[in-house]
A and B are shown apart, each in its own frame.
Chain A
């Protein structure tokens, strides 16, 4: 328990200095020493990439730049995965991937999801891991942050960039390439370097050598064993920091090579939540809306604490399957790495599903039903700090809904920060809200209804949970799984690609469009008569909207999955 408290304290303590640094580094209106340090590096990148970083884009151009870059990266990664067998940096002679798994992998990493329908160390070459995978692991969180910056710039900033005339037309939101490169160079790369060094110091492999052949201590089964190595630490650093989650090794951070010591576990755990929390601080400084961000942070922290508490309580209970066995312990140790124990495993499970990270240090499939349900709820909500950038963007979507209802309840035509929320905005917001149950429930129902598709390793309730978890994880861009699911089939790969793409781009680009439209509108000054977004009542309303929307949408399926499982297990 002390370790859990230590982790929360470390994240909150580190988030403030990091957040303040991020705000300074990303604010392009004020010159700072940070600019002088990084600008030459960035200039080289702009020149090499051949982009004009000074052009101010309206939201459609910004969104198009995001989409085009990602499509290019997907195509490139898809090609690399399929052709890796004949490409260099493949000391272990790993063959190319099948087309559908390669596509799924490319899309999965290009959407900051890192859902893996393969086993990393066995099916990806060093080239695929370091260049295709790690590149995407850097670019995707930077993109989330870039879009958040664009939104914050036009909508959230207290002294919003001067809009010449409130014409109702969308305004310039910034330059995607500039936001992307600055985030990469100033924040993600330095931070990942620090964490990678720390992890290497803890003994994590950091080498270009191929797999090592060793003689195991117990030679009764085999006389030699291949230990796959590679530049693991550098990947794990950004995997944890960038809400990515895709590990070098199939079993992710449960493996000693990917999580060697208690200290490395602490570093990796803190890295899970660090940037998403620091972003709140950064946005408070960047936008000048401290109280608003404090309110948002409060709701997120409350959700996080509830989720973590329930998960810890759940995993402290024994596994029902062990009942009557001599081995029954005091806690559920199935699927847990004994080095970390139930509490640090539950904490990781809670944080990794809140932040859309998806890396694991214990098997989620083996969580007790209530614990499994909490990880699902975390991913439905997906804005408990959430993925980098997209967590706050997703929260903004709920904020828009709460502002709509809240404005009506104080007798004003619906508005967000003084800007009218009208039919056009509500249509897009509705689209984003509708997408989630449509994709998750629709694909789950389809998969369980058509015989031969599911590939679950469990019958009934838990089987349903496995299917539900897979699509939820894909839509939430989380990437973890109730493993044991035979998900390497074309059906699973292709349907997950659909869920991944919709789950990434709709909830990210809809708020961008809405923010740009709103920014072009008349802005009523805040006063006693306008909705105070930092008031306790409004913070409560937003939390209520988040809970109600997710509860109403997913309670029935949760009843059929984890709740029924819990009740039939009879404790």
Chain B
């Protein structure tokens, strides 16, 4: 794909560009971006790096003075350059995160920029206008093979749409006015039919625009916990500023002359440059990760809140179960063989196009039913809501039927048969385990029941066990009756369930959970879900949903996959852990840096303090350089961490804390010792 020599990019290529790693910004672009961010206005956004920048200037000044006075300036110059590199590395981290995020969003935007639209005027006439002039409330007509010009809702018509430009999924989806699947996104292609769409956003407010705003460094709004963390690292920076500024007069009092360049080096090593430099990149990368999962957050806050979710409300269908029922058992009546039941069930279902019908044949074959059934001349009776049964009339006049137990019982009586004893016990036995009983009859004779069950998606039980481990409560929401719901809930391993749920009930549950202090997440698509989506702390709307739902939620899933809630929680947690881990790492690093720099600063005037040089570093200059070089290099070394996020493993809070403290706390304490020693050995060779 990278060999595409033509200027045009297909939608497929555009979506491929969003796969991580396939598009790397050029090194030169990156350097240019990093240099651009040296402007005072950009630096002012990040107090920690601003202090480093000022420190760089101070060192540069002393280098200049040394050159002017003809003194040795190699050390001062080296420190200046390393400090400059520190700032540039931090800028590069932000630029890199931003460019990757923008590449994802930008490729989406590109597909849309030259779109035109047929706007319907009030008098019914059509005007062709550019898509970016469309405003909320405008109506446009789209016909087959055209691109949808703006985000909106279908007000008339139905059609299949290729959403691959937005979701990366090429299978077309059906969207229809007046249903819960009436939402459309700009940049997707209508494959069939004709639609009238009401535009739902003004220019610059579409989902794509929001996505782009979340990853653009300069205009990006910091999230609440990012702001609070900024306060903390700014405070630490001030603390170290006080420590270093007061050090000079105190040293003078005891007869030690301190070198300003070394003091600046000490300051830069102490202030939390690692987290300070990577904080913007972590935030941007968190948004990008959400975007890569096709989750569009309306604000950074939504992504962050996902990490703190205590309760997940999950729709049964599509999230926990595959969505359609499958035959799982043949239960025959007394004095009827299972083989006979299987055969009749198969004959009824051979021409049944529904997933249930096909699953009956599949189950029979799986159980070893291999008889070839000749049905020439038979006529298939399809299912209808009125009769609630389906079946086949064989040429010999045999009437085979399957259907709802009540309807089949009626049918049997009509045929002159009777309902055998034990029938209702059989039916309720099936229903009690959460399956739907489907009765089978051969003319006037009841043969037995097929159990149709919801099939739980594979891996769901493990997923819920993980969530429980993480302390997240899962609640299954279903329209099923309580018996069925209980059986499925038990099998899937959710913590709680709500049967016969209505949108009002969902809203009530969210309120109840919130009243106990929990943060609740839910997913929805219908207009009647909108109040619950708005009430939930994380309301994840399906992109296929109605405009009302999409507006009420604070996150939109482009794939309209109900399982995404789990992913949203993980992305949120990963974002927060990455921040916490790098903050801890950054602070823990300081201990080693003290041991490198403090003796170096004092030893010239006070040789007895050389005893503190526990690392046995070569010389004061090499020690200080080794520390600042380590301090600078750790930023690019951790960029992958910042962009990918730290590895997240589902575990209890205490387990996570213990593990992360060991890795980032203890690791951060110990790692710099050998690293600084190694750099010192290398420098000693050079000097």
A: which residues have CB within 8 A of B?
A: 166, 401, 404-415, 418, 421-423, 425-427, 430, 433-434, 437-438, 441-442, 444-446, 448-449, 460-461, 463-464, 522-525, 527-532, 535-538, 540-541, 544, 548, 551-557, 559-560, 563-564, 567-568, 570
Contact = CB atoms under 8 A, between A and B. Distances in A.
B471 interface: yes
A318 to B, nearest CB: 19
Interface stretch (B30-38, B224-232, B372-380, B676-684): B224-232
13 contacts: A405-B584, A411-B577, A413-B308, A414-B225, A430-B235, A441-B243, A445-B245, A525-B517, A527-B473, A529-B310, A540-B661, A552-B590, A560-B254
A438 B242 contact: yes
Contacts of A445: 245-250
B584 A409 contact: yes
A409 B581 contact: yes
Contact of A426 (B228, B470, B608): B228
Interface stretch (B418-426, B475-483, B486-494, B647-655): B647-655
Contacts of A449: 249, 252-253
A411 B657 CA distance: 9
Interface in B616-665: 648, 652-654, 656-658, 660-661, 664-665
List of 8 A-B pairs having minimum Cβ-Cβ separation, nearest first: A529-B471, A408-B580, A411-B573, A528-B471, A445-B246, A430-B235, A449-B249, A409-B580
A165 to B, nearest CB: 10
Contacts of B661: 409, 537, 540-541, 544
B516 interface: yes
Given A460-B254, A527-B473, A529-B653, 17 more contacts: A409-B660, A409-B664, A415-B308, A418-B517, A423-B224, A433-B235, A442-B242, A445-B245, A445-B247, A531-B657, A535-B658, A544-B661, A551-B591, A552-B270, A552-B591, A564-B254, A564-B609
A557 B239 CA distance: 14
Nearest to B601: A556
B180 interface: no
A437 B310 contact: no
* Chain A, interface SS category: helix
Given A422-B224, A552-B270, A556-B243, A410 B656 contact: yes
Most chain B beta carbons < 10 A, residue from A415, A426, A464, A536: A426
Given A409-B580, A441-B242, A553-B243, A530 B227 contact: no
B537 to A, nearest CB: 10
B255 A410 contact: no
Contact of A523 (B232, B517, B587): B517
A374 to B, nearest CB: 18
A255 to B, nearest CB: 33
A413 B305 contact: yes
Interface of B: 224-225, 227-229, 231-232, 234-235, 238-240, 242-256, 270, 304-305, 307-308, 310, 468-473, 514, 516-519, 572-574, 576-577, 579-581, 583-584, 587-588, 590-591, 594, 598, 602, 606, 608-609, 611-612, 648, 652-654, 656-658, 660-661, 664-665
Contacts of A438: 242
Contact of A413 (B246, B576, B583, B608): B576
A335 to B, nearest CB: 22
A421 B611 contact: no
A405 B583 contact: yes
A414 B252 CA distance: 42
A461 B602 CA distance: 13
A423 B594 contact: no
Nearest to A531: B653
A528 B587 contact: no
B614 to A, nearest CB: 13
A463 B517 CA distance: 55
A537 B657 contact: yes
Given A528-B652, A548-B587, A556-B598, A464 B242 contact: no
B238 to A, nearest CB: 6
A124 B652 CA distance: 61
Given A413-B304, A445-B246, A560-B256, A532 B654 contact: yes
Given A407-B580, A564-B606, A434 B235 contact: yes
Contacts of A444: 246, 250
B130 to A, nearest CB: 42
B657 A524 contact: no
A555 B576 contact: no
Nearest to B660: A409
A59 B505 CA distance: 39
B656 A524 contact: no
Contacts of B246: 441-442, 444-445, 557
Given A423-B224, A441-B242, A541 B657 contact: yes
B657 A538 contact: yes
A405 B588 CA distance: 13
Contact of A409 (B227, B471, B518, B656): B656
Nearest to B467: A529
Contacts of A405: 580, 583-584
Contacts of A570: 608
Contacts of A415: 308
Given A528-B468, A560-B251, A568-B608, A410 B653 contact: yes
A544 B270 contact: no
Contacts of B516: 525
A555 B253 contact: no
Nearest to A443: B246
A464 B253 contact: yes
